[in-house]
Amino acid sequence: MLGDLPFIDLYVRLDKPDQALYRSKERSQNTINQLVPEEYQTSVDRFMSDVNKRLENNSDGALESEGVRVRLSRQKMSDNTIWVCARRINTVLPDLEKLGIAPALVNHLMGIGKRDGLVVVSGATGQGKTTTAVGLLGYYLKTYGGTALTIEDPCEFMLAGRHGTSGHCFQVEVEKEEDWAVCLKRALRWAPRYIYVGEIRTPKAAEQLLRAASTGHLVITTVHAGAIEEALMGIIFLAEQAMGSGVSTMLSSCITALVNQSIKEKGPQLKYLYTEENSPGDPVRTLIREGKIGMLSTYIDRAASRLQLGTAGPGGGPSAPPPAGFRKA
């Protein structure tokens, strides 16, 4: 069965039979590609057939095959061969408290679910930003209740349905790039408490994202970026193409928290920045409003120090004491 193969990424040729490759989910081996053992060939053949049906008119999508859910990206190569990369998706909804994030930071992130505005989870490819973002949304729905809409391409974790006693999630899968902004605009008509946007793709989507975060919703999104500062500049760059000037002012007023995540040998390593609620003069907001993004590093370090000291967070109460070896980076 394909599910028995310990892969995080699976590379399969689609135009004709060829040796499949995989990247192991074992940390000690996840930087090298290995040949898929011969005993999995029948499963790989079935998988190849399922992929060709699923991606008949698309280059990307999601698929469940033999109990394994994967995110797909098909590509024609320079030698005219056609391959697909299948990134394995953990179908078990992530538990925020079991992701290996420092307890003090988890406690702070939990409390943010009571606020509105924009929460940005950034990181490079494969660094777990989607897992953390979905973990946040699942916790908020279960704990605080309300309606959530997710807008994704493709839908990765299966969030649709009931969460806790009063939370419910609806999921929308975007089919075309130009539909991101349309789906976001429609989402507001559902009066959601939470909106999750899988990734900011277009200028119009960035504009609608900021408008949603400025009108009483808590919007969670992921951004491909190596640092918090890069994530902010990326959002501003996209939104300005649709809105012109004034983006920095709008972003500064609606930003609630920013996380940049990378996976290290001992687990997730996070940089974190947040704003004070109902505080237009918050120094982080001021720097964003004035376009001084490069000066935020001081406040990222300060946020880590405050969490280490156990100062009160947005949940209203002292943060949990950090574990030994907690790193502010």
> Does residue 78 share a domain with residue 210?
no
> Does residue 102 share a domain with residue 84?
no
Angle (deg, nearest 10), helices 203-213 and 228-243: 100
> Does residue 181 share a domain with residue 211?
yes
Asked whether residue 58 is domain-assigned, the answer is yes
What value does the mean pLDDT take over residues 292-312?
Answer: 79
Give the side-chain half-sphere CA count within 13 A for 61: 15
Interval 150-170: pLDDT, tens: 998 878 888 999 999 999 999
Residue 135 confidence class, pLDDT cut points 50, 70, 90:
very high
Residue 317 has pLDDT above 80, yes or no: no
pLDDT value of position 318: 32
Residue 94 has pLDDT above 50, yes or no: yes
What value does the mean pLDDT take over residues 194-203?
Answer: 90
> Does residue 100 share a domain with residue 66?
no
Final residue in a domain of this structure, among 89, 119, 149: 89
Q: How far apart are CA 231 and CA 292, in angstroms?
A: 14
Residue 3 confidence class, pLDDT cut points 50, 70, 90:
confident
pLDDT value of position 311: 54
Domain that holds residue 216: 96-318
Q: Which range has the worst mean pLDDT, 209-213, 294-298, 322-326?
A: 322-326
Asked whether residue 270 is domain-assigned, the answer is yes
pLDDT value of position 326: 29
> Does residue 189 share a domain with residue 139?
yes
Q: How far apart are CA 50 and CA 61, in angstroms?
A: 12
pLDDT value of position 325: 32
For the chain, give the percent of residues with pLDDT over 90. 51
> Does residue 154 share a domain with residue 121?
yes
> Does residue 237 share a domain with residue 133?
yes
pLDDT value of position 293: 94
Residue 66 has pLDDT above 90, yes or no: no
Final residue in a domain of this structure, among 63, 89, 115: 89
> Does residue 311 share a domain with residue 201?
yes
Residue 260 has pLDDT above 50, yes or no: yes
Asked whether residue 277 is domain-assigned, the answer is yes
Phi, psi of 91 (to 5 degrees): -75, -10
Of 229, 274, 259, 237, the closest CA to residue 117 belongs to 274
Whichever domain contains 289, its CATH number is 3.40.50.300
Residue 79 confidence class, pLDDT cut points 50, 70, 90:
very high
> Does residue 132 share a domain with residue 252?
yes
For the chain, give the percent of residues with pLDDT over 70. 91
* Number of compact structural domains in the chain: 2
pLDDT value of position 268: 86
pLDDT value of position 54: 82
pLDDT value of position 321: 33
Cβ atoms of residues 180 and 203 within 8 Å: no
Residue 329 has pLDDT above 80, yes or no: no
> Does residue 79 share a domain with residue 151?
no
pLDDT value of position 146: 96
Q: How far apart are CA 59 and CA 173, in angstroms?
A: 15
Asked whether residue 326 is domain-assigned, the answer is no
Residue 324 has pLDDT above 70, yes or no: no
> Does residue 248 share a domain with residue 203?
yes
Asked whether residue 36 is domain-assigned, the answer is yes
Interval 6-46: pLDDT, tens: 898 999 999 888 889 999 876 555 567 899 999 998 898 88
Q: How far apart are CA 18 and CA 87, in angstroms?
A: 19
> Does residue 84 share a domain with residue 116?
no
